[in-house]
Each structure stands twice: as C-alpha cells, then as structure tokens.
Chain A
Amino acid sequence: MSKRGVPLAILGVLFLNEAVDSVAQYCFKKTALAQGHPPIASLHEAAAFVGAALGSGYLWLGLAAVALVFVTWITVLSKIDLSAAMPVTSFSYVFVALASRIFLHEAISPLRWSGIALILIGVAIVSWGEEGEGGRLP
C-alpha cells in the first residue's frame, strides 16, 4: 500500500462525500430541534428519546446521506490508510459552519470562526505533511 499522498481522484470523491455529510448534519440538527430539550435521566427516557427521534423524517433523510457516505468511505478505506483518509473529512467544517449560519441562522462569533479556521489550518498541515514526507519511516 502506497503511503505517498492521496490520489487526486480519491481526494475528489472524499470532498464530495463531505458535502453530503454536511447535509446529514443539517438533517440531524433539524431532528434535534424537533425534540425540544428532553431530560434523559433513565434508560426509559433514553428509549423515549430514541423512539421520538426515529419518528422524524429528517433523521431518515440524514441517515440516507450517511449511508451514501458510508459506502463511499469503506471503498476509499480499502485503497488508502485510515489516518490518511481521515484528515480530508475536515473540509466538512466549512460546509457545516456555513449551513449553520445560513440555514439554521446560528450566530457564529469571531472567536468561533477563529477556532474553525485553526481546525482547518491543522487539516492543511496534516495534508501537506502527507504529500511531502509520506513513506519515510522514523
């Protein structure tokens, strides 16, 4: 198995996968919003929460998106290392932040944007290191 970077085609597939993943996150947040603020202090209440969530159409839409992401993901994992594939999934932070801002009308403070940017820079460093230093064992 080659450890030298991630092939461009696989990168493209992973990138598309993240867009679909952010649709799933939007659907999950809509599912949670419909539940209000349920208290969970017992197994019974936990089961009631799971049951109520399972009755939400948004949950199933989200799960359909996750299923698509899952099939793509296991296919990609058979081609490259988990620790190489994982960083690419971080592109979803931009998509999810934008979806939160535009479609869920959440307020995102400069501090929060900074944190999200730092996470992205972390991802960039990880990816760049993957390209340049791959294959060299300590």
Chain B
Amino acid sequence: MTSQLAFVVGLIVLTSVCDTVNHLGLKVCANAVDIEVAGLRSVARYALRFLRLPLAWVSIFFALLSLFLWLYALTKADLSLAFPIDSMHHVFIALASRFLLREFVSWQRWLGTGCIMAGIVLVTMSGLAA
C-alpha cells in the first residue's frame, strides 16, 4: 500500500514536471505573439500565429505526455487524492518563473507556496491512512 502510494506520487510529480515545461513554453510563446486580442477574429489570428511557433508544439507534446501520465495515475488513485497532490506544479512554476523567466516572485508568494507544500504533505498522509 505504501509503495503503491509512492508510485502514484511519483507519477504525479512527473505529470507536474511535464505540465511546468508546457506552461513555460506557453508563456514564452505568449510573450512572442504581439496581437491585441479583442473579438473572435483576433482570437483565431492569435491562435494561428501561436501555433506557427515550434515551441508551441513542444508545449503541446508535453501537455499530451502529462495527460496520459495523469490518466494512468487516476487508474491507481482517487481524484480527491491525486488532484491536490498535483498542486505541486505551483511550486515548480514559482521556481521556474523566478529562475527561468526571471519574473519577480514576492515573499508572500513564496510563503503561500510553502503553505501549498504543507497541504500536499497532509493530503499524501491521508492517502497513507486510507
């Protein structure tokens, strides 16, 4: 039971890493596309310009990888267990935003991120008890 939980948590960590790569790619692409979005036609134009970037497809690949890892994790765990643990991507995203995209991350945001980590520990413990 314990090794089963460890396997599920490992799967979810992998899912979160793939998800982080996906979102980083999306943000870099979004920064590169300078079309003002107002109305349906500009959304379509935005999407087309977006999909012409090679990095967008790297993002999509990692999104798909993340999806099937996630589906596999869900064959082994309750949604109410797996989903909160998946909030680990917030931690990865905060780190990546700060150190890869060089965005400003305030100390409150770090504190909140720590709180999220503590919540993940409790939810994982609830999986041990089940």
Contacts and interface: CB of A to CB of B under 8 A. Distances in A.
A83 B89 CA distance: 11
B19 to A, nearest CB: 11
Nearest to B122: A115
A126 B79 contact: no
B106 interface: yes
A40 B14 CA distance: 15
Interface of B: 23-24, 26-27, 29-30, 33, 37, 43, 46-47, 50, 67-68, 70-72, 74-76, 78-81, 83-84, 87, 90, 93-94, 97-98, 101, 103-109, 111-126, 129-130
A126 B112 contact: yes
Contact of B101 (A82, A93, A106, A137): A82
Contact of B71 (A31, A97, A99, A104): A31
B68 A104 contact: no
A73 B26 contact: yes
Given A29-B74, A126-B112, A71 B123 contact: no
Interface residues of A, number: 67
A86 B107 CA distance: 16
B97 A81 contact: yes
Nearest to B24: A82
